[in-house]
């Protein structure tokens, strides 16, 4: 599993599941129990 950057870790809740293939914009906050699958875009 790829390591997360410090910034990503701070904005992602520990219970969230995020695909390493998902494309997230800057400063996106990911809340508890969120699931983001492959090919998701958040900008």
Both tokens assigned to 22: 């998902």
Q: Which residue has the tokens 């410090």?
A: 6
pLDDT tens column, 9-43: 568 999 999 999 988 888 899 999 999 999 877 76
For position 24, what pLDDT does the model report?
A: 87
- E strands of the chain, at which residues? 17-18, 23-24, 35-36, 41-42
Give pTM, 2 decimals: 0.64
Is the pLDDT score of 7 beyond 60? Answer: no
For position 10, what pLDDT does the model report?
A: 67
């Amino acid at each position: 599993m790829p390591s997360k950057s410090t910034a990503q870790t701070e904005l992602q809740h520990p219970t969230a599941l995020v695909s390493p293939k998902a494309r997230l914009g800057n400063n996106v906050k990911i809340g508890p129990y969120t699931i983001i699958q492959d090919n998701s875009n958040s900008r």
